[in-house]
């Protein structure tokens, strides 16, 4: 790879963007953890500089023609060489900017949200760790490096979910998240190693070059490795069947949920898919599996979101479902549709979570009915921002989600997946329904509490913290409103560096109409059930007990996993092996010890004090000796 023109500056800027958060992490954890303000300043400073660097790189390379690769070797051992490097192409630049932006905004927001927490310094340390790992992940030049930072991102997620480790549920959720994503990563690592053995390199530019790959690998091997790597994506992006960790991960602080568990970290799976899009598209099976998994996850999660009462849970389910939606877009063969939805989703989902965070911060409850009752609608700016976010999520024009969703729908239709298309329409309908269900519950509570109660709460954290939170919300809402109109320029930008095979995004003139109508219908239904004056605020799902139960119990997936874990692992293999250790191995050993002692006793008796036995043995020995000699002679 010959790096193109402005090598040193781009390299330095990227390296700075990556290493500053690491530095911040080190400094905070080693030195300034107990000094809260300073820690926050260091972390936000680092994130801000990273953001500036990322924006600079994006602007600088807006017209880029060929990807830039800087690579050096981290470790060499025999045949194994682990490179570390930076790959700058439109995709990674876009993702870099998205991650840096949301990171920065969320860190600013946390100033207000986390104020007064005893672990404030630790919080910012972990946030910096995450920022470092995630930024480096996005610009990784080789799959192995990506895997390494993928794991580190998981570590940051573990630490942040379990941030309030006093709570059993939080530490349990952190553990669950780590182990479930690890399960996916096992497949990922296996696929990686297989790929490395076959190909001899894991550089992303090589992997995405269809000619090189097809020459070196058999189609079966491509499918196998693609599916194994997809296992990692399933784990990280919380897709079916490894989706149950994400709702639990909401135990973490809300800004963490906004940053890690909706906008960036969970999107890393989808990002990996887009990164290796060229590779995946070589295997029709892998693409079909991706489409199927995406569809299933999207529908499952949407159904769960319809009955959730916890405001964060709703957005968590929605995240799973939107990630599934992105995978549908990618699986149907359109890189741009998936990436575009990833970008818009990052914006509006972070917005939704942060709005929820403001409400939770103010009212100290996650229950949407409770928040509505306590007067959530009086926080005007927040509620407006939330409506903007929900509209984007629902795909209502002119918000950003409308454009990206419509593109995925169009792509599904154009690539000849009518079933998936219908499922996607259904999913979009359900999404709109549950989003506006939440909004209407907040806006039109059945009964309201006294007004003074709510205001008493918010006052005690300095006003500037609150203002920072609101400012972040407004920023994100602004992005959500305008981002959709940059569709074409983003497409051109991505098309310059990547082989986008579709000439232009597929457009069906009737599609926006249908999608829009559906969305409006869903809003109307939600209004009918939850919004209008005499609504009883009981959704149609709740009137069907079987469905309500099924959805409310998350399709019993959690119970099933818990049962399997208990019976197979704890009570099964683990107990069996332990018993083997205690009984068989140690038993045999102790038996050996005891029988040695027993044998000693027997021998002991022979040459015990009884003199005549000794004599007898002597005589016997002599007789035997004589016989032996007589025989021989």
Partner 1 sequence: MIVPLNHILLLSGLLFSLGMFCTLARRNLIMMLLGIEIMLNAAAVAFVGASLHWQQMEGQAIVIFILAVAATEVSIGLAAILVVYRRTDSVDPAMEAALWEKGGRP
Partner 2 sequence: MAYQLAGFPFLTTLLLCCVAGLLAILCIPARHARAIKIVSAVFSGFTLIVSIYLFIAYDQQAGGFQFVERVAWIPALGIAYFNGVDGFALPMLLLTGIVFFTAVLTMWELELRVKEFFSLIFLLVTGVFGLFMSLDLFFIFVWFDVSLFPMYLLIAIWGSTRKEYGAMKLTLYLLAGSALILPAIIYLVVHSGSMTFDLLALMEGTRFTPAQQRIAFFMLYIGFGILAGVFPFHTWSPVGHVAAPTAVSMIHAGVLMKIGAFGILRVGIFLCPDGWQFWAPLMAVLATCGIVYGVFVGLSQTDLKYVIGYSSVSHMGIVGLGLSTMTIDGLNGAVFQMFAHGIMTALFFSSVGHIYDRTHTKAIAELGGLSRVMPRASSFFIIAALTGIGVPCLASFWGELAVFMSCVSVYPVAGALAIGALAVGALFMLRVVQKTCYGPPLEKFAGLKDITAALAVPRVILVSVIVLFGLFPGVLFDMIHTATMHLIGLR
Which entry of partner 1, partner 2, none binds 185, CB below 5 to 8 A by partner kind?
partner 2
Q: In whole angstroms, give the CA distance from residue 281 to residue 90.
A: 19
537 phi-psi bin (left φ>0, alpha ψ -120 to 50, beta other): left
C-alpha triplet 361, 269, 559: angle, nearest 5°: 65
Residue number with CB closer to partner 1 (78 or 609):
609
**Nearest distance in Å: CB 155, partner 2:** 5
Question: Phi/psi of residue 309, each to 5°?
Answer: -105, -20
Q: In whole angstroms, give the CA distance from residue 109 to residue 255.
A: 7
Residue number with CB closer to partner 2 (62 or 165):
165
Residue count (the chain):
633
Binding site for partner 2 (CB under 8 A): 74-80, 82, 148-149, 151-152, 155, 158, 162, 165-168, 170-172, 174-175, 178-179, 182-183, 185-186, 189-190, 193-194, 196-197, 569-570, 573-575, 577-578, 581, 585-586, 589, 593
Which entry of partner 2, partner 1, none binds 168, CB below 5 to 8 A by partner kind?
partner 2
**Nearest distance in Å: CB 270, partner 2:** 21
Q: Assess contact for 493 and 89: CB atoms under 8 A.
A: no
Which entry of partner 1, partner 2, none binds 615, CB below 5 to 8 A by partner kind?
partner 1
Residue number with CB closer to partner 2 (190 or 506):
190
Classified as helix, coil or strand, 397 is coil
Q: What sign does the dihedral 63-66-67-69 (CA atoms) show?
A: negative
DSSP H or E segment with residue 72: strand 68-77
Within 8 A by CB and 6+ apart from 278, the residues are 207, 208, 209, 210, 213, 499
How many CB atoms are located within 10 Å of the residue 574 CB?
11
* Site of tokens 């949200």: 113
The two tokens of residue 263 are 């906008």
**Nearest distance in Å: CB 623, partner 1:** 10
Residue number with CB closer to partner 2 (128 or 295):
128
Query: Minimal CA–CA distance to 343: which of 41, 543, 607, 58?
Result: 58
Which entry of partner 1, partner 2, none binds 165, CB below 5 to 8 A by partner kind?
partner 2
The two tokens of residue 485 are 């109109």
Which entry of partner 2, partner 1, none binds 585, CB below 5 to 8 A by partner kind?
partner 2
Q: Assess contact for 273 and 338: CB atoms under 8 A.
A: yes
Residue number with CB closer to partner 2 (31 or 621):
31
* Site of tokens 């097809």: 214
Query: Minimal CA–CA distance to 136: which of 89, 90, 86, 94?
Result: 86
Residue number with CB closer to partner 1 (76 or 619):
619
Which entry of partner 1, partner 2, none binds 4, CB below 5 to 8 A by partner kind?
none
Parallel, antiparallel or unpaired: strands 80-88 and 68-77: antiparallel
**Nearest distance in Å: CB 228, partner 2:** 10
Which entry of partner 2, partner 1, none binds 610, CB below 5 to 8 A by partner kind?
partner 1
Terminal-to-terminal C-alpha distance of the chain: 90
DSSP state of 29: I
Which entry of partner 1, partner 2, none binds 608, CB below 5 to 8 A by partner kind?
partner 1
Q: In whole angstroms, give the CA distance from residue 101 to residue 347.
A: 9
**Nearest distance in Å: CB 596, partner 1:** 20
**Nearest distance in Å: CB 573, partner 2:** 5
Residue number with CB closer to partner 1 (186 or 616):
616
**Nearest distance in Å: CB 624, partner 1:** 15
Q: Assess contact for 143 and 188: CB atoms under 8 A.
A: no
Classified as helix, coil or strand, 65 is coil
Which entry of partner 1, partner 2, none binds 621, CB below 5 to 8 A by partner kind?
none
Residue number with CB closer to partner 1 (559 or 607):
607
**Nearest distance in Å: CB 391, partner 2:** 40
Residue number with CB closer to partner 1 (30 or 611):
611
Classified as helix, coil or strand, 565 is helix
Cα 4 to chain center, whole Å?
34
**Nearest distance in Å: CB 582, partner 1:** 36
**Nearest distance in Å: CB 581, partner 2:** 6
Q: In whole angstroms, give the CA distance from residue 506 to residue 336.
A: 11
Which entry of partner 1, partner 2, none binds 619, CB below 5 to 8 A by partner kind?
partner 1
Which entry of partner 1, partner 2, none binds 201, CB below 5 to 8 A by partner kind?
none
Residue number with CB closer to partner 1 (220 or 608):
608
**Nearest distance in Å: CB 55, partner 2:** 28
Residue number with CB closer to partner 1 (611 or 629):
611
Binding site for partner 1 (CB under 8 A): 608-612, 615-616, 619
Which entry of partner 1, partner 2, none binds 520, CB below 5 to 8 A by partner kind?
none
Q: Assess contact for 217 and 210: CB atoms under 8 A.
A: no
Residue number with CB closer to partner 2 (482 or 588):
588
Classified as helix, coil or strand, 203 is strand
Residue number with CB closer to partner 2 (446 or 585):
585
Per-residue b/e over 616-625, b at no fewer than 16 CB within 10 Å? eeeeeeeeee
Q: What is the dihedral of CA 9, 15, 18, 21, to 10 degrees?
A: -100
Classified as helix, coil or strand, 591 is helix
**Nearest distance in Å: CB 619, partner 1:** 7
Q: Assess contact for 391 and 421: CB atoms under 8 A.
A: no
**Nearest distance in Å: CB 235, partner 2:** 10
* Site of tokens 């800004």: 255
Which entry of partner 2, partner 1, none binds 616, CB below 5 to 8 A by partner kind?
partner 1
Mark out the alpha helices in 365-417 (DSSP H runs): 368-374, 380-394, 400-414
**Nearest distance in Å: CB 34, partner 2:** 10
Which entry of partner 2, partner 1, none binds 74, CB below 5 to 8 A by partner kind?
partner 2
């Amino acid at each position: 790879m010959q790096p193109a023109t402005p090598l040193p500056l781009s390299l330095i800027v990227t390296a700075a963007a990556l290493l500053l958060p690491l530095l911040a992490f080190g400094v905070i954890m080693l030195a300034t953890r107990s000094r809260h303000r300073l820690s926050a300043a260091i972390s936000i400073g680092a994130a801000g500089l990273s953001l500036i660097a990322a924006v600079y790189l994006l602007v600088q390379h807006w017209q880029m023609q060929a990807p830039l690769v800087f690579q050096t070797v981290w470790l060499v051992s025999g045949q194994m060489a682990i490179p570390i490097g930076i790959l700058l192409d439109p995709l990674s630049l876009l993702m870099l900017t998205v991650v840096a932006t949301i990171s920065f905004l969320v860190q600013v927001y946390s100033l207000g949200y986390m104020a007064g927490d005893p672990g404030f310094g630790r919080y910012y340390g972990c946030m910096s760790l995450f920022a470092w790992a995630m930024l480096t992940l996005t610009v990784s030049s080789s799959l192995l490096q990506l895997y390494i930072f993928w794991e580190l991102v998981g570590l940051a997620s573990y630490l942040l979910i379990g941030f309030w480790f006093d709570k059993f549920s939080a530490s349990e959720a952190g553990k669950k998240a780590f182990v479930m994503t690890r399960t996916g990563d096992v497949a990922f690592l296996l696929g990686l190693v297989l790929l490395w053995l076959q190909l001899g390199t894991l550089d992303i530019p090589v992997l995405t070059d269809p000619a090189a790959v097809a020459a070196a690998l058999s189609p079966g091997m491509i499918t196998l490795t693609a599916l194994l790597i997809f296992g990692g994506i399933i784990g990280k992006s919380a897709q079916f069947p490894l989706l149950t960790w994400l709702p639990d991960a909401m135990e973490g602080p809300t800004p963490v949920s906004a940053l890690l568990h909706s906008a960036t970290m969970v999107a890393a799976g989808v990002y990996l898919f887009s990164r290796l899009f060229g590779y995946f598209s070589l295997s029709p099976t892998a693409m079909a599996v991706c489409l199927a998994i995406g569809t299933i996850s999207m529908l499952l999660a949407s159904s769960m979101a319809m009955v959730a009462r916890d405001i964060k849970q709703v957005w968590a389910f929605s995240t799973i479902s939107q990630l599934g939606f992105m995978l549908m877009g990618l699986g149907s063969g359109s890189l741009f549709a998936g990436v575009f939805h990833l970008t818009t989703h990052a914006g509006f989902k972070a917005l939704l979570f942060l709005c929820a965070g403001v409400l939770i911060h103010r009212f100290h409850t996650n229950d949407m009915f409770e928040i509505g009752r306590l007067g959530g609608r009086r926080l005007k700016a927040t509620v407006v921002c939330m409506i903007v976010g929900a509209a984007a999520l629902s795909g209502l024009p002119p918000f950003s989600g409308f454009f990206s969703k419509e593109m995925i729908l169009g792509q599904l239709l154009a690539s000849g997946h009518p079933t998936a298309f219908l499922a996607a329409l259904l999913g979009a309908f359900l999404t709109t329904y549950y989003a506006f269900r939440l909004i209407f519950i907040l806006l039109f509570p059945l009964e309201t509490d006294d007004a003074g109660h709510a205001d008493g709460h918010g006052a005690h954290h300095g006003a500037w913290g609150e203002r920072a939170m609101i400012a972040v919300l407004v920023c994100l809402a602004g992005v959500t409103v305008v981002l959709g109109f940059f569709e074409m320029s983003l497409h051109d930008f991505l098309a310059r560096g990547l082989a986008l095979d579709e000439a232009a995004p597929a457009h069906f003139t009737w599609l926006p109409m249908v999608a829009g109508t559906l969305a409006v219908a869903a809003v109307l239904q939600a209004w009918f059930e939850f919004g209008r004056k005499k609504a009883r605020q009981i959704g149609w799902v709740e009137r069907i007990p079987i469905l309500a139960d099924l959805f409310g119990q998350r399709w019993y997936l959690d119970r099933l996993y818990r049962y399997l874990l208990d019976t197979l692992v704890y009570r099964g293999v683990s107990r069996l092996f332990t018993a083997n250790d205690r009984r068989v191995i140690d038993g045999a050993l102790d038996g050996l010890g005891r029988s040695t002692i027993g044998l000693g006793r027997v021998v002991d008796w022979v040459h015990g004090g009884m003199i005549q036995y000794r004599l007898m043995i002597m005589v016997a020995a002599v007789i035997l000796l004589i016989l032996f000699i007589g025989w021989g002679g």
